[in-house]
Structure 1
Amino acid sequence: MPEAPEKFNSAMTTWQEWQNAPWGRLRYAIAEANLARHLDGRDGGPLRILDLAGGDGGDALRLAARGHHVTIVDYAPAMLAVAAERASAGGLTDLITCVQADVTALPADLGDGAFDVVLCHNLLQYVDDVPGTLATALAPLKRGGLFSMMAINRHSAALNIAVRETDPAAALAALDTDKSRTQTFDSALTLHTAEEIIPVLRSLGCQDVQHYGIRSFCDYITDDARKYDPAFYADLERLELATTARPPYMHTARLFQLTARKRDS
């Protein structure tokens, strides 16, 4: 079951520091660029987007700034309050709607299949029923609409431990488990791989599945201080963008992002 919302509320300061750090900025910049591959140049004007477990609006605000209407669903009120504040500060209030709800039990008016895009970013690691959660997430999406999901990549776990903690014994143990823990929210996690999730998406009526890697290099560069240097960060971002869809790098990236279209029939 998902963690209690109080954990996410109480970790707001730490979470915002993470978002503003180079690795947090890369996470959102790369995800936005990958979505733009599928959204830019489409006719029909602003899109209606549903951001499930959207927290404080990290993805939503970027999409609203492009002129789209975004509904953020999250069950942590402190996260939604910050999302509303950020929308107001950015002059995006008219394009952002915040709804406090459990993603696994969406309000009826959100399940009408009228959304052009649905995001399900960094939710799966917190839930027990992955197929059920994905089915619920896909229900509000129009036929032919774009679905985007993101999760921590289990393939990266052992590599991350070996490189950053220089602990080969712990890295070896990580090869045979899908369990982990997030320090930011002090929560248990279940890790997945793109190879496991792609067949589930296809079984739920998705097609044209695309696999991207988020932070293919950043997390394996141990000099975190240097990442704050603007020139170094700019070079790193260009490298990450160049390899987000380039094999083999997405297979060991810290996060994986999958986009897909909901089958028309």
Structure 2
Amino acid sequence: MSEPLRPRATLRTAVVWDVLRDALAEQVRATGRDVLDVLDTGGGTGNFAVPVARLGHRVTVVDPSPDALFALERRAAEAGVAELVHGVQGDAHGLLEVVERHSHDVVLCHGVLEYVDDPAEAVGNVVGALRPTGTLSLLVANRNGVVLARAIAGHFAEAQRVLTDDLGRWGQGDPVPRRFTEPGLTALVTGAGLRVAAVHGVRVFADLVPGALVDTEPGALQALLRLESAAAQEPSFRSCATQLHLLADRSQEA
């Protein structure tokens, strides 16, 4: 069960959702509990929180925006899962001030690390919210993906700048404060005591394909979704994806 999605929204979330749904099912099997406690930090209006709740799980969304949390409440009510979704105002920096330590089976941290002052601190906080058998779902902007995108757009100097910029930015007008490489992201996660279970590329092709083709060509959306899924775990393709999605657990935590 999930909310109906527009074609472009489906392309943005399909790989992550498929991986996350399987991770939730694995947690159900591992814990023996049908209802999991899920934390979505930076979850905004509930793009993932509401579909997770529709699977029957309890979801706490921590987000700094009151407007986003209001929209989340309305969205959860419209989906019939208001009793399973709880919004809390806060951010990754103060996460453990608004949620209990070791209280969640799965923690989502999607599109957060790009914007925080200290990514290592943020990862440490989300790890602190995990139960001993918990799973972390981490989604970040990929540096290599924007190199490819800027080059294809003809902005060659900007593409080259990304390669040498410490934050992976193409210039002053870049709206994303920070991007990551797979080795850098893995180092953050292992440094917090987690084991990396899987890494997937998200939107390997989707952002490079003309929107008119996907929206109007019969069967194009489903074919592209299948291609994205097939390429997501291939290192040579995920290295140039728009985003990197990483699953990790606490099995090596000291």
Alignment of 1:179-258 (within 5 A): 179-180=169-170, 187-221=175-209, 223-229=210-216, 231-258=219-246
What is the deviation of 1:234? Answer: 1.2
Give 1:132-151 correspondences, 5 Å limit.
132-151=121-140
Residue number in structure 2 paired with 1:116? 105
State the 1:25 CA deviation: 2.3
Indicate if the aligned counterparts of 2:66 and 2:89 stay in contact, CA closer than 8 A: yes
**CA deviation after TM superposition for structure 1 residue 20, in Å:** 6.1
Counterpart among 8, 20, 25 of residue 35 in structure 1: 20
**Equivalent residue for 1:13?**
none
Query: How far apart are 1:82 and its partner, in Å?
Result: 1.0
Q: Does the 8 Å contact 1:158/1:172 carry over to 2?
A: yes
Gaps in structure 1 of 5+ consecutive residues: 1-18
Runs of 4+ off more than 4 Å: 180-183
- Does the aligned pair in 2 maintain the 1:194–1:258 contact within 8 Å? no
Which residue type is aligned with residue 205 of structure 1? Answer: G
SS at match of 1:56: coil
Query: For residue 50 of structure 2, what is the amino acid of its counterpart?
Result: L
Q: TM-score, normalised by structure 2?
A: 0.88
- Matched residues, percent identical? 29
* 1:47 and 2:36 matched: yes
Structure 2 unaligned regions, length at least 5: none
The aligned amino acid for 2:110 is H
Q: Which stretch shows the higher mean deviation, 191-200 or 37-46?
A: 37-46
Alpha-carbon contact 2:95-2:126 (below 8 Å) kept = no
Q: Which residue of the partner structure matches residue 172 of structure 1?
A: 160
Aligned residues: 243
Superposition RMSD in Å:
2.2
- Alignment of 1:157 with 2:149, yes or no, is no
**What amino acid does structure 2 have at the position aligned with 1:225?**
A
Distance 1:188 1:30 in 2: 22
Structure 1 residue 115, shift from structure 2 partner: 0.3
In structure 2, the residue corresponding to 1:85 is in which secondary structure? helix
From 64, 75, 87, the counterpart of 1:98? 87
Q: How many Å separate the matches in 2 of 1:108 and 1:161?
A: 40
CA distance, structure 2, for counterparts of residue 182 and residue 103 of structure 1: 25
Q: Distance in 1 between matches of 2:170 and 2:112?
A: 14
1:79 is matched with which residue: 35, 50, 68?
68
Change (3 A) 1:109 1:77: closer
Please report the TM-score for the alignment, with normalisation by the length of structure 1: 0.84
8 Å contact kept, 1:113–1:142 = yes
Greater CA drift, 74-83 or 40-49:
40-49
Report the CA distance between 1:204 and its aligned residue. Answer: 1.1
How far 1:168 moved relative to its partner?
2.4
Shift of residue 220 of structure 1? 1.8
Pairwise CA distance, 1:24: 3.0
On the 8 A contact 1:114/1:140 being kept in 2, the answer is: yes
Out of 254-263 and 236-245, give the one that drifted further.
236-245
Contact 1:180–1:190 under 8 Å retained in 2: no
* Cα 1:111/1:182, change in 2 over 3 Å: farther
